[in-house]
Amino acid sequence: MPTPADFAKNATEAKSMGFNAIKFDLDQANDPGKYDRYNWTASPKELDRMVKQIGAAREAVGPDIDICVDMHGRYDTPTGEKVAKLLEPMNLMWLEEPIPAENIDAYKKITDSTSTPICAGENHYLAHGFTKMLSSGAVDIVMPDLQKAGGLGEGQRIANLANLYYVPFAPHMVATFLGAMATAHVCASVPNFMIMEWQIYFHTDPMFKEITIHEGEQVTNSFVKVSDKPGIGVDLNEEAVKKYAAQGYPFFE
Ligand SMILES: [Mg+2]
């Protein structure tokens, strides 16, 4: 289990790489302070561990770097309320999925209880999946995953729907560099773009470097440059994809 010092180290590294925001996972099933591995109510020790980890990250990077925190929907509503309240002094960019995605009324209860911005959306689908969440004020920020939520056009519709409620659009993004740049094009085309999730594996994992082809540097100091070429401006390197594909399964042909 990562210690507060690990959180501080990772935060410092990300800052030194030029990133202006960092996201951490707070749900840690192997935390010995949990009531038990399966309990979705956080114990006092577990809450203390969360506060110390994020506190160490905040102290390491100072007040000017944004910090986001994800709980992956693994807790109950009273825990969500407690964590949101306890993390208020850390000035988070957002607290993500403190509870499972389905119950919008429970989200609203947490959002109404705290000054910590509450964020969700990676487990909601199509613009229709966001209508009640937005009209009831259940979240402060939406983060649809455009690979899952309906694609680029639907991503624009979700963003524009959120914009009617003055809610920022911050897409979830766990994909290849092609998926990242496709998402970036949507972000560049909507008025309420806030921030797009980015993956460190683009910079560190040889597979992710090999499987796409693009020209020039596309990220500088946390800002993505979208290509003005036709399409996304990134191609798949099919030979590299075949090299890394699970053997014995058909390729996309
Ligand atoms: Mg998440």
CA of 122 relative to ligand 1 center, distance in Å: 6
Digit-by-digit pLDDT tens for the chain (253 residues) are 899 999 999 999 999 999 999 999 999 989 999 999 889 999 999 999 999 999 999 999 999 999 999 999 999 999 999 999 999 999 999 999 999 999 999 999 999 999 999 999 999 999 999 999 999 999 999 999 999 999 999 999 999 999 999 999 999 999 999 999 999 999 999 999 999 999 989 888 999 999 999 887 778 888 999 988 889 999 999 999 999 998 888 887 6
Sign of CA dihedral 159, 125, 235, 176: positive
CA of 70 relative to ligand 1 center, distance in Å: 5
CA of 227 relative to ligand 1 center, distance in Å: 27
CA of 95 relative to ligand 1 center, distance in Å: 10
Provide the CB-side half-sphere exposure for 131 (13 A, CA).
Answer: 4
Q: What is the pLDDT at residue 112?
A: 98
Q: Under 8 Å CB-to-CB from 201, ≥6 apart: which residues?
A: 208
Q: Rounded to the nearest 10 degrees, what angle do helices 177-187 and 151-164 cross at?
A: 40
Q: Where do the structural domains in the chain lie, given as residue ranges?
A: 4-199
Q: Which residues hold their Cβ within 5 A of ligand 1, which is an ion?
A: 70, 96
Q: What is the pLDDT at residue 138?
A: 98
Q: What is the pLDDT at residue 250?
A: 86
Place of tokens 């008025």: 191
CA of 143 relative to ligand 1 center, distance in Å: 9
CA of 158 relative to ligand 1 center, distance in Å: 17
d(CA 55, CA 176): 31
CA of 97 relative to ligand 1 center, distance in Å: 6
CA of 245 relative to ligand 1 center, distance in Å: 25
Q: Under 8 Å CB-to-CB from 231, ≥6 apart: which residues?
A: none
CA of 89 relative to ligand 1 center, distance in Å: 22
CA of 28 relative to ligand 1 center, distance in Å: 14
Please tell me the CATH code under which domain 4-199 is placed.
3.20.20.120
CA of 64 relative to ligand 1 center, distance in Å: 23
Q: What is the pLDDT at residue 203?
A: 84
CA of 246 relative to ligand 1 center, distance in Å: 26
CA of 229 relative to ligand 1 center, distance in Å: 31
Q: What is the pLDDT at residue 230?
A: 85
CA of 103 relative to ligand 1 center, distance in Å: 16
CA of 249 relative to ligand 1 center, distance in Å: 29
Enumerate the β-bridge partners of residue 172.
145
CA of 252 relative to ligand 1 center, distance in Å: 28
